[in-house]
Amino acid sequence: MKHLRLVFLASCIVAALSAEGIQENQFYAPVNTGSNMTLGFNSDDLDDFIGDLIGAFNSEGTCIGLESIKDEFFTMALWGNDQGTQALDGLTDGESPTFAILKNNGTVVSVASVNNYSGYETNALVVATSMALSGCTSASYLEYHTQGYVADVDDGSCTTKTYTLDVTPELFQPITFTDNNMIIGLNDQTINLFEGGSIGAFMDLDGDGTLDCISSAEIPGTDNGSDGFFTISLWGDDQLTDEADGLVDGQTPIFAILTQTNHVLAFESATEFQGYAVNAFITFNEIIFDLTIYGCMDSNYCNYNPDAEEDDGSCEGIPGCIDDHFVEYNENASCTLEGACTTLWKDAYQQASNEVSTLSSENLLNLSKISQLEDSIANFSSPISIDIVEGWNIIGFTLDQAQDAVATFEGIVDRIEIVKNNDAKVYWPEFGFNGIGNLIPGQGYQIKVSESIGGFMYPKIAAGQRIALHPSVPQWVIDMPVEMHPNDIKSLVKVVNLLGQEVDVNETPKGSTLIYLYNDGTVKKELR
């Protein structure tokens, strides 16, 4: 639509309107009641309706405004009620009419709202620059693709669910022709609604789990010279080649449409189709988008499909506990069964230990079984206690999942001076700096502490839990005397200013006070 700049006589917020219940026979020329207001339309939202009619209706459903939609700015007269007659033949002051669009094919489109319009006012002029249309708003339904416009407000008209059946837009590619085929005639006007899109047939020819394109063609529309009827070829397997490059007798491919908006809509024929047959011809006079979904309908298997409507015999895989940290671990299970994993090995160990302490003499024969259980538990979940001495230590990270260094050492952080990994990256609590990130299972770390820590055990923290740090410079560092001529060069971790911000020495102005942090836990303060 062309845009026209006008001074609006009204600046009202969106008025919620509804055309529910408006029928085709209500779109008739309104009565000239002697008073009206002018409503201008300057909206791109009507671009899909050029040449159709837009009407306005009062509370009794009387048409009080009608105009043909143009590809430019246009106006409509909204007629007010004639006070000299008893009939309500127009709008009353302040009344907001119901708007609707009548398409050339007889379809009525509801208008949910018209902006900048708050109600009838005799002799007023208002220009609407946008409109909200009612319709199907979900691309998962057929009505979204066939209504011919993009709806803004859902009106409950989405009824026919669509499926892709694993067909993707990328699969609609030209194929290599083989030496045999069959012809499919398409004689359903529904397909022509997707003019300019593509239609294709697909099959997993080599059993690798990926669909192959058997046929692909552009949808011509109703003006193709055959009133919309057209054909596609299904190509058969070439017997002279080793690879599967086409259909064999009896195979039924997946049929799908690729819309111009890049949506895939799988369909099947209402006509009985026995599958591929060389040189055969069949016409699909009706196609169905609301497909019968095949799959495993038994919830006792891993590939159970709750949406399946007909069992295809594909059920496989036993659900169970697949986490070997639990007593219920099942090595034969293929997927997780909710609630199957209940008892951790370490909890079972604690329970067994408690039972041992209360055994009577007659039950001591069971000690050998308990001993075997304890050996199994030890292999999975026995905690490792570490005695950390004052000064430097080398310790390993004994848990089986990586976790944040700051959160892991939170319980002893007041005694940690510095922690280093094998790449010389450090966690320095006093400076609020974590260069290590996560502790990695099986890796060793150097840790310097201010006093000994007996029986330290790594805590297992929640997955993804992290403690954020904010780098800062302790007061004791700020109070250090400035060394004018340092004569000892060490391995730097970073250089910061008095605000704790990391800086580049070469880009720092002369006279700035800098703090050098070394990997052995020492700190130096210098004047640049």
Residue 381's pLDDT is 53
For the segment 502-526, what is each residue's pLDDT rounded down to a tens digit? 899 888 888 888 888 888 778 888 8
Segment 343-357 shows an average pLDDT of 79
The pLDDT, as a whole number, for residue 222 is: 85
Least confident of 40-44, 56-60, 488-492: 488-492
**What is the 3-state composition of the chain as percent helix, strand, coil, each rounded to the nearest 5?**
15, 30, 55
Q: Does residue 74 surpass a pLDDT of 70?
A: yes
* pLDDT over 90 (residue 450): yes
> Three-class SS of residue 350?
helix
Give the pairing type, strands 131-135 and 153-154. parallel
Fold of the CATH domain 169-288: Immunoglobulin-like (2.60.40)
pLDDT above 80 for 405: yes
Strands 426-428 and 433-434: antiparallel
| Alpha helices, DSSP H, located in 94-234 | 142-146, 189-192
Rounded-to-integer distance, Cα 147 and Cα 307, Å = 26
What span, in angstroms and rounded, lies between the C-alpha atoms of 504 and 491? 16
Q: What count of Cα atoms within 13 Å lies in the side-chain half-sphere of residue 55?
A: 24
Please state which of the ranges 175-189, 244-258, 313-327, 367-381 shows the lowest mean pLDDT.
367-381
Q: Please, are residues 134 and 22 in contact by the beta-carbon 8 Å criterion?
A: no
| Least confident window among 41-50, 255-264, 283-292, 472-481 | 472-481
- 296 neighbors 314 (Cβ within 8 angstroms): yes
More confident residue, 204 or 471: 204
Same fold, 15-153 and 169-288: yes
Q: Is the pLDDT of residue 358 over 80?
A: no
Tokens representing 210?
């990926």
Confidence of residue 19 (pLDDT cuts 50, 70, 90): very low
Asked if residues 68 and 33 have their Cβ atoms less than 8 Å apart, the reply is no
Q: Grade residue 436 by pLDDT with cuts at 50, 70 and 90.
A: very high
| Whether residue 496 has pLDDT greater than 50 | yes
Q: Which segments of 224-365 does DSSP mark as H helices, in order? A: 345-357
Confidence of residue 90 (pLDDT cuts 50, 70, 90): very high
What pLDDT is recorded for position 324? Answer: 87
- Determine which of 134-143, 447-456, 483-492 has the lowest per-residue pLDDT on average: 483-492
* Residues 107/193, Cβ–Cβ less than 8 Å: no
* CATH match for 15-153 among 1.10.3470, 2.60.40, 3.40.50, 1.50.10: 2.60.40
Name the least confident of 141-155, 358-372, 398-412.
358-372
Alpha-carbon distance of 205 to 74, in angstroms, equals 57
- Which residues, at least 6 apart from 105, have a Cβ–Cβ distance to it below 8 Å? none
Q: Domain boundaries in the chain?
A: 15-153, 169-288, 345-381, 386-456, 475-527
The number of beta carbons lying within 10 Å of the beta carbon of residue 331 is 8
Q: Is the dihedral of CA 424, 430, 435, 441 positive or negative?
A: positive
Query: What is the rounded average pLDDT for all residues in the chain?
Result: 86
Residues facing 434 on adjacent strands: 427
DSSP class of residue 143 equals: H
20 band by pLDDT with thresholds 50, 70 and 90: low
Amino acid 349: pLDDT: 81
Q: CA-to-CA distance for 388 and 118, rounded, in angstroms?
A: 77
- Whole-number percent of the chain with pLDDT over 90: 57
